[in-house]
């Protein structure tokens, strides 16, 4: 599966647009990680616990988007975008979306 943030794929021609595909995850903070993160916040530096949590969430959302494209029998996903938002205090969503397409053979 080719996945790009651009609207075109160099050297390929889009034969058919299949539609929007997306994947999302909503994650809440974990109390154990939150305590460690609070301590890191006091002394400064990267809050690795949250970075890891968001990386894991992004990977899950990305996989879900690809699964949606595979159900449409897509060859690629173009125009991919990533967005995050706070759903409630202590919980955030990551959403990944793009357009599933068939490529000329």
CB 90 within 8 A of CB 29: yes
Burial category of 42 from C-beta neighbours within 10 Å (exposed 0-12, middle 13-18, buried 19 and up)? exposed
Higher pLDDT among residues 61 and 36, named by residue: 61
Q: What are the strands of the beta sheet with 76-88, ordered from one edge? A: 2-3, 76-88, 91-103, 14-28
CB atoms near residue 68 (< 10 Å): 20
Supply the pLDDT for residue 76.
98
CB atoms near residue 96 (< 10 Å): 25
CA of 4: how far to CAs of 16, 40, 96, in Å? 16, 35, 12
Supply the pLDDT for residue 89.
72
pLDDT at 70 over 80: yes
Hey, what are 30's tokens? Answer: 């974990």
- pLDDT interval class at 99 (50, 70, 90): very high
User: For residue range 29-44, what is the model confidence (pLDDT) as tens digits?
Assistant: 665 555 665 665 666 6
CATH architecture, domain defined by 2-103: 2-Layer Sandwich (3.30)
């Amino acid at each position: 599966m080719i996945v790009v943030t651009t609207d075109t794929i160099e050297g390929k021609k889009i034969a058919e647009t299949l539609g929007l595909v997306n994947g999302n995850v909503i994650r809440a903070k974990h109390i154990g990680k939150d305590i460690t993160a609070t301590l890191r916040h006091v002394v400064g530096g990267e809050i690795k616990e949250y970075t890891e949590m968001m990386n894991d969430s992004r990977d899950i959302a990305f996989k879900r988007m690809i699964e949606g494209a595979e159900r449409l029998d897509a060859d690629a996903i173009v125009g991919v975008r990533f967005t995050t938002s706070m759903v409630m205090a202590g919980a955030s969503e990551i959403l990944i979306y793009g357009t599933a397409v068939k490529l000329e053979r």
